[in-house]
Amino acid sequence: MRQIIKIAWRNVWRNKLRSLIVITSMVLGLWSGLFSASMMSALNNQRINSAIKSQLSHLQIHHPSFQDNYDIKYQINSLSKVLKALDENKKVNSYSSRIVLSGMASTARGATGVKLIGADHINEKNITDIHDQIVKGTYFSGGTSRQAVIGQELAEKLKLDIKKSIYLTFVNENGLQERLKLKVVGIFKSGNSIFDGSHMFTKKDYLYKIFKKKDIIHEIALVSNDINQAKELKDELLQAFPDNKIELWSEISPELGYANEMLSFFLYIFMTIILIALSFGIINTMLMAILERKRELGVLMSVGLNKSKIFLMIALETLFISIVSVPLGVLISYMTISYFGDVGIDLSIVEEGLEQFGMGTRLYTELYLDYYINITLLTFLLTFISSLFPARRALKLEPAVAVRSI
């Protein structure tokens, strides 16, 4: 066995140029595949994190009928008990209770449908990152309570600027139209142009004055200590308050949840296609090597080397190529991904398109450890399968014919 291993290793380097070309192609194939996978993974995670921080949070609580048409009469059931439970639950990191109005925002320059969120702007800082996304003005301030913070897309659509007035028309609890006048104090840019064009924030205390009561809450957005705890937290709250609708971020935005679930499957398919393409190069190279050593293999068979050892020798030659190339490819990929994970990749050239999907213009590559391990194992598996074809070709050689070949 040791002798077969030694012969196989030497055979790999009998034609150094050819072996190095195959090794280089495998290294570049692995690097390009893993780096591309890290970019796709980073884009997906960035999109999810951006949506969670700006609008979804980990969990949201509503009245079961509220989201059907955003009727303000559908308020959270057992509100005081829900708030007390959230205060006492150790899995809850922070939460913000909100009044949500769906209506028509208008100025002298135009009108558009929006969602007005009235919240405690101090607590809201622990749930959303809107306060860090202010590009003009401030995130609320002292003075008048009729303040509004709006998205940049909405400001451009309605030709609004700081200190300008915006009107919101909505339907009150009695089914009658009501109009609010708000003063723009800040403009934010979250990186999601759709969200920026349809959302605005105001102080919850101001809406309390409008409705003349303080127990109106349509939505509670909360963040758990760990996103992996969110499912468990949801089950606990749902068991305690079955008369409310409690949803995970992936249920509120099912397209994001589905994309997140499918990403891993897609990345493995992507890498498998690349590795299969590389396998054809390995098969071709090994078949050429066998044809060149036809006479040598015939002699080995003639002196008593059985077919199983011939098969093992050819398989080992193929695997040795992988043993050299895979660690190099994974190492170079890891170093490249780690580097761009720190400095990022500037994608500002496609900023407008990325904002449609809620992504920023700086991409920080990332790839989980289990993906490196699984791809390494998959590469060795496909390489072994690739060795079967040239090995089978070698076993078909007739010793008497092979020794007479030139």
pLDDT of residue 118 exceeding 80? yes
Q: What pLDDT does 356 receive?
A: 61
Query: Residue 114: which pLDDT band, with cuts at 50, 70 and 90?
Result: very high
Q: What pLDDT does 221 receive?
A: 94
The tens digit of pLDDT for each residue in 293-316 reads 767 666 666 666 677 777 778 788
Mean pLDDT, residues 90-118 taken together = 92
Please report how the helices 307-343 and 294-302 are oriented relative to each other, as an axis angle in degrees rounded to 10: 130
**Average pLDDT taken over every residue of the chain:** 85
pLDDT of residue 261 exceeding 80? no
pLDDT of residue 287 exceeding 70? yes
What is the amino acid identity at position 46?
Q
Query: Residue 382: which pLDDT band, with cuts at 50, 70 and 90?
Result: confident
Task: Report the range of poorest mean pLDDT among 103-112, 278-287, 388-397.
Answer: 388-397
What is d(CA 120, CA 202) in angstroms, rounded to the nearest whole number? 9
User: Bridge partners of 221?
Assistant: 60, 96
Mean pLDDT, residues 317-324 taken together = 86
pLDDT of residue 17 exceeding 70? yes
Radius of gyration of the chain (CA): 31
Query: Residue 222: which pLDDT band, with cuts at 50, 70 and 90?
Result: very high
Comparing 300 with 364, which gets the higher pLDDT? 364
How is 315-355 classified by DSSP, letter by letter? HHHHHHHHHHHHHHHHHHHHHHHHHHHHH-EE-GGGHHHHH
Q: What pLDDT does 22 receive?
A: 86
Whether pTM exceeds 0.85: no
pLDDT of residue 401 exceeding 80? no
Q: Where does residue 110 fall: left (phi above 0), alpha (psi -120 to 50 degrees), or beta otherwise?
A: left
Q: What pLDDT does 86 receive?
A: 93
The single residue listed with the structure tokens 């093992």 is: 312
Percent of the chain with pLDDT over 70: 90
Q: What pLDDT does 19 receive?
A: 82
Task: Report the range of poorest mean pLDDT among 9-18, 111-120, 231-240.
Answer: 9-18
Q: Contact, 61 vs 237, CB < 8 A? A: yes
How is 146-207 classified by DSSP, letter by letter? -EEEEEHHHHHHTT--TT-EEEEEEE-TTS-EEEEEEEEEEEE--S-HHHHTTEEEEEHHHH
Mean pLDDT, residues 200-226 taken together = 88
Which range, 212-221, 239-248, 293-302, is most confident? Answer: 239-248
Q: What pLDDT does 303 receive?
A: 65
Query: Residue 391: which pLDDT band, with cuts at 50, 70 and 90?
Result: confident
Q: What pLDDT does 59 receive?
A: 94
What is d(CA 300, CA 201) in angstroms, rounded to the nearest whole number? 82
Which tokens sit at 192? 């999601």
Q: What pLDDT does 304 receive?
A: 64
